[in-house]
């Protein structure tokens, strides 16, 4: 089940407004799609569809998969959305596909808390990749302790929503029991005073743990890059399905 942040229609409608409008974090994924010559792409955990729509606008054949119906509803309203095949589901929806590239942006790769769930997703991705195809995803470097900045003082924002007027939002750290970190997003809709919260938990795996999990799933690590928008804070993994079984 998706977090309320992505599943509640009112929160999904304002989600993009709290991000940078040009989404520089997605630029490397668009560039890698061209670098690898990828024509068929799955955006797993596509959320409100920013990357999927950008890739589709460039003529790519794109499938956007997400478990949150509210987020997909937002995605379907965007430019080039009609060129994307939107699927309400999880990695189970990858069965039978053969694509060039699978992406998991943002925190998607860290929402799989149990090792069994993470392994299942990686195996599903490998099966859906054609020989030589790639899985690309980002994770936060646990050593940088990103959660130390997750408090109201450092995360408070206010934006104007076309549908809901002024909206305030912030993040509070709830619990740190490594490798798990839990936190809460709070949203206050000034127009009617409605307060909505969304609790989330992420798993912070080490680089070694991720490499071992990829290897166990039959994927080879081709490269580990930096995230240009957050230099030194994240790992961008590029894993490849071997050309031969």
* Model confidence at 188: pLDDT above 70: yes
Model confidence at 38, pLDDT cuts 50, 70, 90, reads very high
106-123 average pLDDT score: 97
Helices (H), 16-114: 27-35, 50-57, 69-75
Number of alpha carbons in the 13 Å side-chain half-sphere of residue 36: 27
- Over the range 136-146, which residues count as b (16 or more CB within 10 Å of their CB) and which as e? bbbbbbbeeee
pLDDT for the residue numbered 162 = 86
Contacts of 226 (CB under 8 A, 6+ apart): 232, 234, 235, 236
For 4-141+205-240, CATH gives 3.40.50.150
In this structure, the strands spanning 99-104 and 129-140 are parallel
pLDDT for the residue numbered 245 = 64
Rounded to whole angstroms, the Cα distance separating 215 from 198 reads 34
Rounded to whole angstroms, the Cα distance separating 110 from 185 reads 17
pLDDT for the residue numbered 164 = 67
* Model confidence at 184: pLDDT above 90: yes
DSSP letter for 200, please. Answer: E
* Model confidence at 103: pLDDT above 90: yes
Domain limits, the chain: 4-141+205-240, 144-202
This prediction has a pTM of 0.95
* Model confidence at 19: pLDDT above 90: no
Question: How does DSSP assign 220-240, residue by residue?
Answer: EEEEEE--TTSTTTEEEEEEE
From 240, 234, 206, 243, select the one nearest 28 (Cα to Cα). Answer: 234
Give the N- to C-terminal CA distance of the chain in Å, as an integer: 34
């Amino acid at each position: 089940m998706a977090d309320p942040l992505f599943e509640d229609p009112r929160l999904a409608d304002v989600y993009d407004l709290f991000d940078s409008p040009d989404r520089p974090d997605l630029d490397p994924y668009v560039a890698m799609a061209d670098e690898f010559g990828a024509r068929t792409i799955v955006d797993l955990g596509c959320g409100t569809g920013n990357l999927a729509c950008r890739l589709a606008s460039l003529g790519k054949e794109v499938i956007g998969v997400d478990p949150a119906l509210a987020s997909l509803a937002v995605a379907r309203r965007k430019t080039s959305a009609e060129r994307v095949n939107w699927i309400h589901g999880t990695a189970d929806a990858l069965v039978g596909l053969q694509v060039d590239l699978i992406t998991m942006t943002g925190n998607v790769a860290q929402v799989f808390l149990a090792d069994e769930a993470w392994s299942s997703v990686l195996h599903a991705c490998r099966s859906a990749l054609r020989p030589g195809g790639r899985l690309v995803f980002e994770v936060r470097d646990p050593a940088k302790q990103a959660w130390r900045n997750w408090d109201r003082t450092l995360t408070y924002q206010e934006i104007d929503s076309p549908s809901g007027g002024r909206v305030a939002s912030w993040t509070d750290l709830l619990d740190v029991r490594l490798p798990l970190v839990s936190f809460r997003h709070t949203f206050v809709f000034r127009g009617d005073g409605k307060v909505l919260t969304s609790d989330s938990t992420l798993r912070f795996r080490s680089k070694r743990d991720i490499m071992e999990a990829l290897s166990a799933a039959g994927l080879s690590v081709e490269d580990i890059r930096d995230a240009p928008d957050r230099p030194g804070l994240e790992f961008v993994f590029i894993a490849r399905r071997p050309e031969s079984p």
